[in-house]
Amino acid sequence: MDMAVVMMGFSALSTLSRVEILRLLAKEAPPEGMKSGDIAKKLGVAQNTLSTQLMMLSHARLVQYQRDGRSILYRVDQENLQALSDFLLKECGGEATSKPTRKAA
């Protein structure tokens, strides 16, 4: 995976608000995507702030968008999110064969 793409992905995920947007789209958006107004309402975020966050996620190739009439629908870019996850596991954490376990304090 291109390191510039990796760095853009990690940078895009460096704020809680963008992680929340990605999580919402992954868990609640229909396959065709979710309107930005609906995302803003669900997360209680101002529309102009959301637009900036969606642009960052889009530039990092973690979110795709498509115009639908006067609306724009956003959805997770599953392929690129999976590639970023694979990079992290293979290049930074070894080949993961099972879920990590937490050690008791």
User: What is the C-alpha separation between 19 and 70, in angstroms, rounded?
Assistant: 26
Note the pLDDT of residue 6. 86
Cβ(23)–Cβ(75) under 8 Å? no
The stretch 13-40 carries a mean pLDDT of: 95
Residue-level pLDDT at 101:
57
CA distance 3 to 8: 9
pTM score, whole prediction: 0.81
pLDDT at 57: 97
Q: Token digits for 77?
A: 């870019």
| Average pLDDT, rounded, for the chain | 88
Q: Does domain 3-92 have CATH number 3.40.50.1860?
A: no
Q: What was the pLDDT predicted at 27?
A: 95
**Which pairing describes strands 63-68 and 71-76: parallel, antiparallel, or unpaired?**
antiparallel
Beta bridge partners of 73: 35, 66
What residue spans define the domains of the chain?
3-92
